[in-house]
Chain A
Amino acid sequence: MTVRERFPLFNSFLEGWSIFKQSLLGRIGLALLVLFALMAVCSYIPPWIDPMYNPMTGVDPDITCCTPPSLRHWLGTDFMGRDILSQLLAGARVAFMVGISAAVMSIVIGVAIGMTAGYMGRFIDTLLMRLADMIMVMPTLLVILILAAIFGQLNIWTIVLIIALFRWPGVSRIIRGQTLSLKQRPFIEAAKVAGASHFRIIFQHIMPNVLPLAFLFMTFRVTAAIITEAALAFLGFGDPGTVSWGMMLQWVWKTGHMFKAPYWLLPPGMCISLITLSFYMLGRAMDEVLDPRLRKEDQTD
């Protein structure tokens, strides 16, 4: 027995990877993501070299205004003399944190609710799906703005939680549809005849079959979460204790450097675009990996 046979996940990962490799979009997306991940990891280095490189509180004592790139500050400094490069690196860390944790949370909620609604049907289905409809039509950004106006400044984790709570309905709709079709499949009936409980059927039989789809949707949700957080921060409702790319853009705008300091404006702007683009490309490539038509050939072993 080989390792591949023993560990199904590893095996399907290898199979998926061989299809993923063929997608140019996927390769570019993955390369970009690796780059951003490196940035996030490197964000710990500048403050460790010198406290003046601390993205939030570090100030170069010799500089009191916005300066273009130099040897000491590779991407220049902001209006207070803080290093832009270290802010950019810290922003990558925040972007990953916000994007992935919000996406994971919304996927977990969405999958749980979607499977329950699809499998249970009837009253529970109607109840959960109407709830999903209600949340789906609420404008996320507006609601967060109102909440921020009521409760004052929001913590970054609160923002993540709110994004997650508003983003599950789309996922749950799709998972519900998938569950509905799986529920009719004979292998579910076979499990029923064997005496399996509802709990067992949902978690042992339906969940493994919807997880790949959920995973695919996660990449798209990451994109949405990063953009939402950036928009919030840009509008001035971000967590004031965190440096995110949206926050940087807000500083540029608030201090009137929008058209005066391209070295300050462009890096965070481009980073937001590129990271969302790369997650999107990754998702598109995974879409191909999960496409049953491409998988079919493998079945004739």
Chain B
Amino acid sequence: MKTTDENKPILQIRNVSKIYRGKGNLFRSPGKDVVALNRISLDIFKGEIFGLVGESGSGKTTAGRLVVSLEETTSGRIFMENREVTGLKGRSLKAFRRKVQMIFQDPYQSLNPQRSVYDTVSEPLKIHRMGNASERKAKVKEILKAVGLSPPDDFLFRYPHRLSGGQRQRVAIARAMVLNPEFVIADEPTSMLDASISAQIFNILLAMRKDLGVTQMFITHSLAAARYICDRIAVIYRGNLMELGPAEAVIQNPRHPYTQALIDAVPKFGHAKEAKLYGTLLAKRREAGKDKGCIFYPVCAVADDAICPRKKPGLTPLDDGRMVACFREGSDPEQTSFLPHVSNKGV
């Protein structure tokens, strides 16, 4: 395991919330607000692959979209190398785009069907006016080779409908990597792909980190995938961070009841009965304690009725370098972050 403590954080998220306002209209009273992210704070260090693990609707994709400025935060700030990136506009936004890229979930949707591989991969270079035509072509070929599309000449002028799912995702990775970004967000890049192809994509992402030193945020619903490629992972449940720590530690010895329930639920190659069961999930939901309590309380089997429905546990560091938001592990109520304050250096 890498020791990331000496490293500088490259991305710092501080108290970020995203609330989708429910729209009311003439016939419907104002809709409910949906809290996609609730005061999230985390640091991602240079050179690591950070996993954000959660079920559908947990806000993990929203987190990625906020970081690349595809959406605006409702409150809170995001810093990239000590510079605030929330609310960037115009030229400074474009400069930021050069450093942070994204790989999307569905390779069948994320490539323009009317554009060839060359058009797609060279586009970021054209947008940022990098190199002349022949330099760009050489760069595109180089990156295609790096993602395993070789010989590149076979692929340059192919259109997406003539590529398999795995090849499309490689093209999408090539597009994200062609600018030599410092930070890449991979949003469930393999959820549409078969297992054998997924493994190819995982290995490419690992190689990108090794060869290009790209820091990555890997968003996934699969703990097993996160275990394979991530150094540290954060488990997110309905917009709240539940547990954050070194990948192997979180998976082998989960401390938050939600993480334990997740690990219980994963099929284990016919060893379900022998595998350790934490049994932290209630069969039936219980009444929630208004908006105040722990978000996991309604389904938590080990909750303390005295405190859990009333106060919200903060993400608190434990002695083994991880953070957990659960009163059983001694979390402080209402303390949202133990991370240092970031001062904005300006752009």
Closest CB of chain B to A13's CB: distance in Å?
A: 13
The contact string, 1 if C-beta is below 8 Å from chain A, for chain B 111-125, is 111111000000110
Contact A8 B114 (CB under 8 A): yes
Contact residues, A195-238 vs B (CB, 8 A): 195-197, 200, 204-205, 208-209
Q: Is A194 within 8 A of B159, CB to CB?
A: no
Contact A187 B102 (CB under 8 A): no
Tell yes or no: A133 within 8 A of B by CB: no
Q: How far is the CA of A84 from the CA of B110 in the complex (A)?
A: 59
B328 interfacial by beta-carbon distance below 8 Å: no
Partner of A5 from B110, B113, B114, B158 at Cβ < 8 Å: B158
**Least CB separation from B110: chain A residue:** A186
Chain B residues within an 8 Å CB radius of A196: 123, 127
Question: For chain B, what secondary structure do more than half of its interface residues adopt (helix, strand, loop), or is it mixed?
Answer: loop
> Inside 8 A of B110's CB, which chain A residues have their CB?
186-187, 189-190
B104 adjacent to chain A (CB < 8 Å): yes
Q: Verify A208–B115 contact, CB threshold 8 A.
A: yes
Identify which of A186, A209, A298 contacts B104 (C-beta below 8 A).
A186
Given the known inter-chain contacts A1-B157, A190-B175, please indicate yes or no for A195 contacting B94, CB distance below 8 A: yes
Asked if B162 and A301 sit within 8 Å, CB to CB, the answer is yes
Q: Which residues from A are CB-within-8-Å of B159?
A: 8, 11
Interface centre among B68, B114, B115, B156 (most CB of A within 10 A): B114
Q: Tell me the complex Cα distance, A205–B124, Å.
A: 13
Whether the pair A192, B157 counts as a contact (CB closer than 8 A) is no
Is residue B161 contacting chain A, with contact meaning CB distance below 8 A? yes
In the bound complex, CA of A294 to CA of B101 (Å): 35
CB distance from B150 to the nearest CB of A (A): 15
Select from chain A the residue with minimum beta-carbon distance to B185: A193
B111 touches which one: A187, A193, A209, A301 (CB < 8 A)?
A187
- Contact: A190 with B102, CB < 8 Å? yes
From B97, which residue of chain A is reached at the shortest CB distance? A195
Inter-chain contacts of A205 with B (CB < 8 A) = 112, 115
Contact with A along B72-100 (1 / 0, CB 8 A): 00000000000000000000011001101
Which residues of chain B are within 8 angstroms of A1 by Cβ–Cβ distance? 153, 156-157
Tell whether B21 is near chain A: CB-to-CB under 8 Å: no
Question: Cβ of A260 < 8 Å from any Cβ of B?
Answer: no
Residues of A within 8 A of B102 (CB): 189-190, 193
Q: Which of B113, B123, B161, B162 contacts A194 (CB 8 A)?
A: B123
A192 and B104 alpha carbons, distance in the complex (Å): 12
Bound Cα distance from A208 to B68, whole angstroms: 26
- CB of A293 closer than 8 Å to a CB of B: no
**B116: chain A residues within 8 A (beta carbon):** 8
Contact with B along A170-201 (1 / 0, CB 8 A): 00000000000000011101111111110010
Q: Which chain B residues border A194 with CB–CB below 8 Å?
A: 97, 101, 123-124, 127, 175, 179
Return the chain B residue nearest A11 by Cβ: B159
- A299 to B, closest residue via Cβ: B161
| Interface assignment of A6: CB less than 8 Å from any CB of chain B | yes
Is B162 in contact with A186, judged by CB distance below 8 angstroms? no
Residues in A whose Cβ lies below 8 Å from that of B161: 298-299, 301
Report the bound CA distance from A266 to B286 in whole Å: 83
A280 to chain B, nearest CB (A): 27
Closest partner residue, chain A, to B98 (CB atom): A195
User: Contact flags (1/0) for A149-187 with B, using CB distance below 8 Å?
Assistant: 000000000000000000000000000000000000111
Say if the beta carbon of B172 comes within 8 Å of chain A.
Answer: yes
**Interface presence of B343 (CB below 8 A):** no
Mask, B42-81, CB within 8 Å of A = 1, is 0000000000000000000000000010100000000000
* A-B contact list, 28 entries, CB within 8 Å: A1-B153, A1-B156, A5-B157, A8-B116, A185-B109, A186-B104, A186-B105, A187-B109, A187-B110, A187-B112, A189-B104, A189-B110, A190-B104, A190-B172, A192-B70, A193-B68, A195-B93, A195-B97, A195-B124, A197-B127, A200-B127, A204-B115, A204-B123, A205-B115, A208-B114, A299-B161, A301-B161, A301-B162
Known: A186-B110, A194-B175. 13 other contacts (CB 8 A): A1-B156, A8-B116, A186-B109, A189-B110, A191-B112, A193-B102, A194-B97, A194-B127, A195-B97, A195-B127, A200-B127, A204-B123, A299-B161
Q: Which residues of B contact A (CB under 8 A)?
A: 68, 70, 93-94, 97-98, 100-102, 104-106, 109-116, 123-124, 127-128, 153, 156-159, 161-162, 172, 175, 179
The 8 residue pairs across chains A and B that have the minimum distance between CB atoms: A195-B97, A208-B114, A186-B110, A194-B124, A187-B112, A186-B104, A299-B161, A186-B109
